[in-house]
Amino acid sequence: MRKASRPARDAAPLGTAYDAAVRYLGSRPRSVLEIKRHLRTKRFDDEAQDKAIDALRAQGYIDDEAFARYWVDQRLRFRPKGERALVSELMAKGVARETIDLVLGEADPDAETKRAREVIRRPMTRWLSMTDVERKRKIHQFLAARGFSYDVIEEVIAKPEAPED
């Protein structure tokens, strides 16, 4: 059986940086830094990377603020996390702190507490048989691991079930 041949490590990249960036954007929106990192792994030089990113910005394909809104929305829907975790994830993806603060500042102030209560709803059924001290410790660990602030965790521990409206 024959192995597929790979290009040499120092070989020139195939296609243009713009084409590689567009393909990379095909699955989901990306931050500017994510695209830059991807193009670097494809061995495009800095000039080609900047040219591709400028073209994508001009066409409206990449925008860190829109990406941050997308990321926060997806996290809230599918894998709810606290504000600390969202900030950390967005910073790792190269989004500026001002942009993150702008996007997260638009949320309802009570939204994080509601999200924390929703996150513990399922595991809470397993924790009902525990003593109060053990249950509080579990809730605290569970929410802290998901990036919720300590104020929110204390509020949820005080009243694990959401008040009825």
Average pLDDT of adjacent 10-residue blocks, the chain of 165 residues: 56 77 92 93 91 93 92 89 92 94 84 89 89 92 92 88 56
Angle, CA of 92, 67 and 98, to the nearest 5°: 65
Question: What are 94-130's pLDDT values in tens digits?
Answer: 999 999 999 988 877 788 888 899 899 889 889 889 8
Looking at residue 2, its pLDDT comes to 57
Between the alpha carbon of residue 130 and those of residues 136, 139, 146, the distances in Å are 9, 11, 21
Looking at residue 54, its pLDDT comes to 94
Between the alpha carbon of residue 137 and those of residues 26, 55, 68, the distances in Å are 43, 51, 32
E-assigned strands of 5-144? none
Q: Report the distance separating Cα 156 and Cα 163, nearest Å.
A: 11
Looking at residue 165, its pLDDT comes to 44
